[in-house]
Amino acid sequence: MTARPRAPARAASRGERLAAAAPWAIVALAVILVLAMRVRLMDLPLERDEGEYAYAGQMILEGHVPYGDMDNMKLPGTYYAYALFMALLGQSPRGIHFGLALWTTVSALLLFAVGRRLLDPLAGAIAAAVFAILSASFSVLGFAGHATHFVVLPVLAGCWGILWPGRRERLGLLAAGLAFGLAFLMKQQAAAFVLFGVLFVLWRSRSAGWRSAALKGLLFSLGAAAPYAVLCAYLASKGVFANFWFWTVTYARDYVGEVPITDAGAIFLDQAGEVTGWYAGAWALAAAGAIVYFIRGKDRDTKVFLAGLTILSFAAVCPGFFFREHYFIVMLPAVGLLTGAGYAALPSGRAGGEGPGWTRALYAIACFAALLAGGVAQAAPVFKWDMEHVSRRCYGINPFPESIEIGRYIDANSAPADRIAVLGSEPEIYFYAHRRSASRYLYVYALMEPHPYAGRLQDQVIEEIEAARPRIVVLVRVGVSWLGRPDSDKRIMRWMDSYLPAHYDVTGLAQMSRNNSTRYLWGPEAAAAAGDSHDDVLVMKRRD
Read off the pLDDT band of 7 (50, 70, 90). low
CA distance 154 to 103: 10
**Averaged over 492-509, what is the pLDDT?**
97
pTM of the full predicted structure?
0.94
pLDDT digits (tens, 9 = 90+) for 58-78: 999 999 999 998 999 999 999
What does the pLDDT look like over 405-417, one tens digit per residue?
Answer: 999 999 999 999 9
The residue-averaged pLDDT of 264-280 equals: 95
Give the C-alpha separation, 179 to 151, whole Å: 10
**Pick from 131, 90, 75, 92: which is nearest to 387 by CA?**
92
Q: Regarding predicted confidence, which is higher, 287 or 380? A: 287
Identity (one letter) of the amino acid at 369? A
Backbone angles phi, psi at 163, to 5 degrees: -80, -45
**Residue range 89-148, pLDDT digits in tens:** 999 999 999 999 999 999 999 999 999 999 999 999 999 999 999 999 999 999 999 999
Confidence class for position 380, pLDDT limits 50, 70, 90:
confident
Task: Tell me the percentage of the chain whose pLDDT exceeds 70.
Answer: 96
The vertex-355 CA angle with 29 and 373, nearest 5°, equals 30
- Give the pLDDT band of residue 527 (cuts 50, 70, 90): very high
Q: How far apart are CA 260 and CA 266, in angstroms?
A: 11
What confidence tens digit (pLDDT) does each residue in 206-219 have?
888 899 999 999 99
pLDDT at 12 exceeding the cut of 60: yes
> Can you give the pLDDT at residue 1?
46
Chain mean pLDDT for the chain = 94
Angle at 51 between CA 46 and CA 52, to 5 degrees: 155
- Cα–Cα distance for residue pair 47/20, rounded to 1 Å: 42
DSSP secondary structure, 168-231, as one string: SHHHHHHHHHHHHHHHHHH-GGGHHHHHHHHHHHHHHTGGG-HHHHHHHHHHHHHHHHHHHHHH
Q: Give the model's pLDDT for residue 208.
A: 86
The DSSP-derived string for 363-403 is: HHHHHHHHHHHHHHHHHHHHHTS-HHHHHHHHHTT--HHHH
For 447-488, write each residue's pLDDT tens digit: 999 889 999 999 999 999 999 999 999 999 999 999 999 999
- 10 falls in which pLDDT band (50, 70, 90)? low
Residue type, 343: Y
What average pLDDT does the segment 33-55 reach?
97
* Dihedral over Cα of 382, 384, 390, 393: its sign: negative
Query: Per-domain residue ranges for the chain?
Result: 21-164+263-383, 396-542
CB distance 178 to 223 below 8 Å: yes
441 SS3 class = strand
- Considering only CA atoms, give the Rg of the chain: 26
Q: What is the mean pLDDT of residues 77-94?
A: 98
